[in-house]
Structure 1
Amino acid sequence: MNKEIIFNLPVKDLERSKAFFAALGFRLNPRFSGDNAAFIDVVEGSIHAMLTTEAFFESLTGKPIAPARMASEVVICLSCESRDEVDTLIAKAAAAGARIPHPPEDNGFMYDQGFEDLDGHLWNLVWSAPQG
C-alpha cells in the first residue's frame, strides 16, 4: 500500500501563503486546489500540505482554529539531505517573510533550524549524519 502524508493548515490569505511556499520551492498541485484550498507538494510523492482558508478549515473540523502565533499546535519537521539544504531553505523562508525564532543548532551529528510561516505554523528543518 502506498502511503502519503497530507496535513491541513489553516491560512489567513491563501494567495499569499501559496506564494510563500512557492518561494521555498514547494510545488502547487492545481488538480487538488481551488478557491478555498491549495494542495502543496512539500516532498513530491510523499508529503503534502493542504493550505485551507480559515473559514473552510473551520467548516471541516467544526472547531475553532488554534491561534498558531500565540500557542504551539504542532511542529512540522522535515529532514534535509545536508546542512546546506537546511541553510538554503531557512534563507528562502526568511526572504519570503518567515520569522526565524532561533539560530541553527549544531550538535555535530545533527544540525537544525526552524521557521515560523506567515500564519505562525512552526517548521523545523533537520540534517542528521548518516551514522548519527
Structure 2
Amino acid sequence: MNRMIFINLPVRDIEATTAFYTSLGFAFNPAFASPQSACMALNDSAFVMWLSYEHFADFTDGAAILDPRENTTAALYALSADSREAVDATVAAAVAAGGAEHGAAQDHGFMYSRAFRDLEGHGWQVMWMDPQAAADGPPDMAETA
C-alpha cells in the first residue's frame, strides 16, 4: 500500500505562508485551497496542509493549540536535500523570505543539516545524507558527534 501523509499545521496568514514557501520552491495544489487553507506538495505522497487557526481548531476537538512563536516545540519537520549546498541554499532562501535560522549547522560527515523557523515559528530541518550511508544505514552517531 502506498500511503499518503498530510501534515496539518496552523498559521495566522495563509497568503503570507503560501508566498514564503513558494519562494523556497514548493508547489501548491489549488484544488485544496481556500481562504482558510493551502495544500503544499512535498512529493506525490506527502503534503503540508496550512490551515488558519480557526480551521485547524475544527480538527482538535477543543484541545489546546501550541503557538510555536511562544518558544514551544511540538514537532520538528525534516526535509531532505540533494546536497550540502542545497541545504545551505534552502536555509538562505528561508531567511531571505522572512524566516529565521534556528540553531547551528550539524555536520556528522555522512549527514549535514541546518534548521530554520518559518513565518509562524514552525521548525524545519533541512538535511542531506550521503547516499551510501542512506543505503547502508548510518554509522554510530556517537562516533560522528
Q: TM class by shorter-chain length?
A: over 0.9
The aligned counterpart of 2:130 is 129
The aligned counterpart of 2:11 is 11
The aligned counterpart of 1:114 is 115
Shift of 1:80: 1.4
Distance in 1 (CA, whole Å) between partners of 2:83 and 2:92 is: 14
Distance in 2 (CA, whole Å) between partners of 1:104 and 1:35 is: 36
SS of corresponding position for 1:113: strand
CA shift digits 1:79-101 (9 cap, x unpaired) = 21111111111111111111102
SS of corresponding position for 2:17: helix
Q: Percent identity?
A: 37
**TM-score, structure 2 length as denominator?**
0.85
The aligned counterpart of 2:73 is 72
In structure 2, runs of 5+ residues without a counterpart are 134-145
The aligned counterpart of 1:51 is 50
Q: Over aligned residues, Cα RMSD in angstroms?
A: 1.1
**TM-score, structure 1 length as denominator?**
0.93
Distance in 1 (CA, whole Å) between partners of 2:30 and 2:15 is: 13
AA aligned opposite 1:94: V
Structure (1 or 2) with the greater strand fraction: 1
Shift of 1:106: 1.5
CA shift digits 1:44-92 (9 cap, x unpaired) = 2022100000011012212221011221110001121111111111111
In structure 1, runs of 5+ residues without a counterpart are none
Structure (1 or 2) with the greater helix fraction: 2
Larger radius of gyration: 2
Runs of 4+ in 1 over 3 A off after TM superposition: none
Shift of 1:37: 0.5
Distance in 1 (CA, whole Å) between partners of 2:115 and 2:27 is: 20
AA aligned opposite 1:119: E
Distance in 2 (CA, whole Å) between partners of 1:28 and 1:118 is: 17
Distance in 1 (CA, whole Å) between partners of 2:98 and 2:128 is: 23
Paired residues in the alignment total: 131
